[in-house]
Structure 1
Amino acid sequence: MSALEDKTVHAPPDLIVSGLALDSRKVEEGFLFFALPGEKEDGGEFIAEAKARGAACAVCEHPPETEIPYILVPDAHKALALCAAVWYGTPAGKLTVVGVTGTNGKTTTTYLIKQLLERTKGTKVGLIGTNQNLISDKTIPTDRTTPDALTVQRLLAQMVDAGCTYAVMEVSSHALMQSRVEGIRFRVGVFTNLTQDHLDYHGTMEAYCDAKSRLFDQCDIACVNGDDAWTERLLARFTGERITFGQGMTNDLVGWRARYENDCVRFTACTDLDHEETRIGIPGGFSLYNALASLSAVQALGVPLSDAAKALTECVGVKGRCEVVPLDAPFTVIIDYAHTPDGLKNILSTVCGFADGRVIALFGCGGDRDKTKRPRMGRIAAALSDFVVLTSDNPRTEDPYAILRDVLPALLESRTPFAVIENRREAIGFALHEAKESDVVVLCGKGHETYQEIGTIKYHLDEREVVRERFAQVQRKDAADAAKENEHEDHHCLHTELRGLRDHGKISGP
């Protein structure tokens, strides 16, 4: 308990603890149970269950109703993070830690930094992120951007045991607000960008920015997007070394003369002292910024620009980020995680830059999340594609038709043809039927996810599998018959869903 400075102890001084838990269902004999306050549930309600399972003591913000030794703290989340660090032997102190925050680009940037460090320093690097956690080359699945504090410290300890010398991690605004990375000193903090997201949690963009800025209270060096309008506010309190990157010529690291190609971006990385030709094998303007963020981070860690630029040409992309699905088809299918207005704009702008045919955009909006971004995403999809398929993303506990209703007016206002098909599998099949030679079908929102969350259940849905299955059905049909059937199905699907929306009171009209 020495890790906790501001505490009131109502427990024997010789208390012996055998483990830590924040989930009462995982408590074992002698465990210290952390009763964390949450958005929907309060951990204090589970102290009795934790005691029944053998908890020796509870850490909480209010005196428990259950008779049990306890420690009162002002912030149980922070207490968990600090105790977890001590429990696992303060592993962050044995690693050089890089934290990456921002609305978009965190996952790709962390993967690029990991690869650059491995290629230039020849060392083992761990990663904590949205797609997965990596302890060197060993994969550990994950279901959130930044895990709980106990898991973070356990992963860092496993990295140390595996011989890693660096750890790169995505740090979400939620994680910063909930103190999940409290007690970790980041050698480098990276800021990619800030666009509308998570306003259901933060309320305003200013509050969202301030949450992100907390990372830099724990950093030695800040590598930030100098072209982003929020950077100045983000670093208002930061007094350490800063490195800016971007396309603006006043940045410390400039991406100059960018050439956007179908499968890559070529550019010159420039500093006051050096300039290097390089490329990143992921198309799109956002890829340029992810590359610059990664190059600036490893430069801050002492890697010469010449070495980093060379290593960048050998780096590979991330599953679910502008991922082309291998398909023997006359059109292209791309899967991307774009689930924010800016993310959707980025991927569709990228595809517009190289598509020889039409751009067919399939997207939806997540349930129980910021509703204000839904019409914006509808307008973006209509403006940057030739055909829109509006469908469900992860509706969660919201009525999926209510979500469609929030998006639909933006599509109705546009002149872009569209279809509304709530069932995502059917929607993907429809998009593939609609695609013609040289078209590009962009499936937005799921990315690396292999599930769809409906209600409180996650059902298996891997878009790669769905694409292959639905395309195989198309291949089995005679071309002429398929064309006629597609025409019939298009009409049926669109009007069935629109009728469903009317039945739910979502739209009016004939």
Structure 2
Amino acid sequence: MPTGANLVVDSRQLAEGDLFVALAGANYNGLQFVDAAIAAGALAVVVDAAVDMVPRAGVRVLRVAQLAEQLSTLADCFYRQPSRRLKVIGVTGTNGKTTVCQLLGQLLARLGAAVATIGTLGAGRVGTPLQATGMTTADACTTQRLLAEFAEQQCDYVVMEVSSHALDQGRVAAIRFEQAIFTNLSRDHLDYHHTLQRYAAAKARLFAQSGLRRAILNSDDAASTFMATAIGAETAVSYYSAAGIDGNLRCVAAEFDSDGLTAQLLWAPAAAKPGTAVSVRSPLLGDYNLANLLAVISSALAEGWALQSIAAEVATLAPVDGRLQRINSGDLYGQPLVVVDYAHTPDALQKVLAALRPVTEGELWVVFGCGGDRDTGKRPLMAQIAERAADRLVITSDNPRSENPATIIAQISAGLDQPGRALIEADRAAAIERAIGEAGPLDTVVIAGKGHERYQYVAGDKLPFDDVAIAQRLLAARAAAGGL
């Protein structure tokens, strides 16, 4: 095998000497790209043993029984079992994966570890630019390759987001996880899983992984009870609670303002022993970010770092791009506070609006839409949440993909009790402009749904689009004009 050869499932990413895995997916068939892979220099083609593929001259065909199910194991062996040379921490849940992953990566690095992260924002060493991977959890071959690269770079930890799709499809089946963290569970991806029960079952697979040393669960979320049923006897379990009801790490008091949060925490690793108290301060907004911080702190505690050392570093953790990201401080030059967030589920939108209500003196605005070719059932639910939790609604496009934006907006609007309250503007840039332009200096404008994304999928095209950049430009123009 040539030095540096890779296993590749996307023929467009293949380099000379790589092995092409002709995998059949739900919406594609890798066999259709064999010739393209060979033209790019594939050394061999890996196919399912049941496939009758016509041999190509000079190219070896490797047949693997149940290829899709075995691909994670195959890639694990190909890259010399990289997860056994690292401590891999997996984060799963409907909301909070990216925030927990990025904050935990920052924290472990500040505590002295060499850390890389893999997730929605990309993959890379903490402190270096992330490289896009195209999805929350990449395919099995890419994931194992990344782990191998980080092992070669002598990383101590890799913190990675683990999606329900990846778990259901076995993309991470061969990874040896040091820890698995659960954030929460609410409606999402039902276009794929069909029921909440099947969605939860996919998430629970992470906690049944062989070799898992510790599970960290959110005792405030009822689904943690279900996750716990998947955990083996060899896995230790820690619980955290932002509500302060139950948990090894729990919040006993908290204050929230427009500059962040302050919380008093109690850490009791053993139920029979008295706990240790500590105070933390963070620039993160909202009570749900307190829950994210508790997950992060619990993970670091499980790795043996001292509570006081962890608490001292929490204040230095930078907010994550597109996650309750403040574009300005508000009321500067008569401007509203503008926040960009990735919230694209009913639960996430509710939490974002609830987090910003206490720090909003005027009206709370929300600009939102719903993605095309995704769960249509959540569209009216998003409208119901927005109508209850916000004062001013602007319904617009998200990533319409192959759907007509007007159809999506109509399905969202069907959930409104008072349709006349909502402003309808299918052009997302114009919708953002209208909200920022009309909001008062004491108002808050939430631009929800796309967060860190720098593109918009419209009718098969991937177009440049950046909520943050648009908001910054509009705020600068408003400031130049003297506010309102």
What's the TM-score once normalised by structure 1's chain length? 0.86
| Partner in structure 2 of residue 261 of structure 1 | 257
CA distance in 1, matches of 2:186, 2:170: 22
Question: Residue type matched to 1:320 in 2?
Answer: G
The 5 Å alignment of 1:147-162 reads 147-162=138-153
CA distance in 1, matches of 2:15, 2:469: 40
Segments of 5+ residues of structure 1 without an aligned counterpart are: 1-13, 483-510
Contact kept? 1:60, 1:70, Cα under 8 Å: no
- Secondary structure of the structure 1 residue equivalent to 2:214: strand
Shift, 1:416, TM fit: 7.2
Q: Matched residue pairs, number?
A: 465
Residue 464 in structure 1 maps to residue 464 in structure 2? no
CA distance in 1, matches of 2:15, 2:306: 50
List per-residue Cα deviations over 1:120-147 (Å, max 9, x = no partner). Answer: 2x12111111113222422233231112
Shift, 1:337, TM fit: 0.7
Of 144, 150, 170, which aligns to 2:161? 170
CA distance in 2, matches of 1:15, 1:317: 42
Q: 1:17 to 1:67 in 2, by over 3 A?
A: farther
Shift, 1:287, TM fit: 0.7
Contact kept? 1:388, 1:416, Cα under 8 Å: no
CA distance in 2, matches of 1:20, 1:114: 27
| Partner in structure 2 of residue 241 of structure 1 | 236
Question: Residue type matched to 1:418 in 2?
Answer: A
Give the stretch that moved more between structures: 294-303 or 147-156: 147-156
CA distance in 2, matches of 1:339, 1:165: 33
Question: Residue type matched to 1:60 in 2?
Answer: D
Segments of 5+ residues of structure 2 without an aligned counterpart are: 269-274
CA distance in 2, matches of 1:24, 1:216: 33
List per-residue Cα deviations over 1:274-331 (Å, max 9, x = no partner). Answer: 1211122211111110011111111111112222222212212101111111374421
Q: 1:303 to 1:423 in 2, by over 3 A?
A: same
Q: 1:305 to 1:17 in 2, by over 3 A?
A: closer
| Partner in structure 2 of residue 10 of structure 1 | none
Contact kept? 2:115, 2:158, Cα under 8 Å: yes
| Partner in structure 2 of residue 488 of structure 1 | none
Contact kept? 1:359, 1:441, Cα under 8 Å: yes
CA distance in 2, matches of 1:256, 1:301: 23
CA distance in 1, matches of 2:291, 2:139: 29
Shift, 1:233, TM fit: 1.4
Shift, 1:29, TM fit: 5.2
CA distance in 1, matches of 2:36, 2:54: 10
The 5 Å alignment of 1:254-403 reads 254-272=250-268, 273-326=275-328, 328-330=332-334, 331-403=336-408
CA distance in 1, matches of 2:441, 2:321: 25
| Partner in structure 1 of residue 116 of structure 2 | 126
| Partner in structure 2 of residue 40 of structure 1 | 27
Shift, 1:476, TM fit: 6.0
Shift, 1:249, TM fit: 2.7
| Partner in structure 1 of residue 130 of structure 2 | 140
Of 407, 411, 414, which aligns to 1:406? 411
Question: Residue type matched to 1:40 in 2?
Answer: N
Question: Residue type matched to 1:150 in 2?
Answer: C
Q: 1:112 to 1:271 in 2, by over 3 A?
A: same
Of 60, 73, 77, which aligns to 2:48? 60
Q: 1:65 to 1:241 in 2, by over 3 A?
A: same
- Secondary structure of the structure 2 residue equivalent to 1:141: coil
Contact kept? 1:136, 1:162, Cα under 8 Å: no
Shift, 1:156, TM fit: 1.8
Residue 87 in structure 1 maps to residue 82 in structure 2? no
Contact kept? 1:34, 1:60, Cα under 8 Å: no
Contact kept? 1:341, 1:377, Cα under 8 Å: yes
What's the TM-score once normalised by structure 2's chain length? 0.90
CA distance in 2, matches of 1:89, 1:54: 23
Of 443, 449, 453, which aligns to 2:447? 443
List per-residue Cα deviations over 1:21-49 (Å, max 9, x = no partner). Answer: 21234445554321222121122333344
Question: Residue type matched to 2:421 in 1?
Answer: P
Question: Residue type matched to 2:251 in 1?
Answer: G
Of 206, 214, 218, which aligns to 1:225? 218
Shift, 1:53, TM fit: 4.6
- Secondary structure of the structure 1 residue equivalent to 2:129: strand
Shift, 1:158, TM fit: 2.3
Contact kept? 2:253, 2:265, Cα under 8 Å: no
Q: 1:383 to 1:329 in 2, by over 3 A?
A: farther
| Partner in structure 2 of residue 508 of structure 1 | none
Shift, 1:396, TM fit: 0.7
- Secondary structure of the structure 1 residue equivalent to 2:414: helix
CA distance in 1, matches of 2:246, 2:440: 45
Query: What is the root-mean-square deviation of aligned Cα atoms in Å?
Result: 2.3
CA distance in 2, matches of 1:87, 1:258: 49
- Secondary structure of the structure 1 residue equivalent to 2:213: strand
Q: 1:16 to 1:70 in 2, by over 3 A?
A: farther
Which structure has the larger Rg? 1
- Secondary structure of the structure 2 residue equivalent to 1:123: coil
List per-residue Cα deviations over 1:141-171 (Å, max 9, x = no partner). Answer: 3231112222222222222232311111111
Question: Residue type matched to 1:393 in 2?
Answer: D
Shift, 1:387, TM fit: 0.6
- Secondary structure of the structure 1 residue equivalent to 2:175: coil
| Partner in structure 2 of residue 503 of structure 1 | none
List per-residue Cα deviations over 1:367-406 (Å, max 9, x = no partner). Answer: 0111111101001111111110000000011111110011
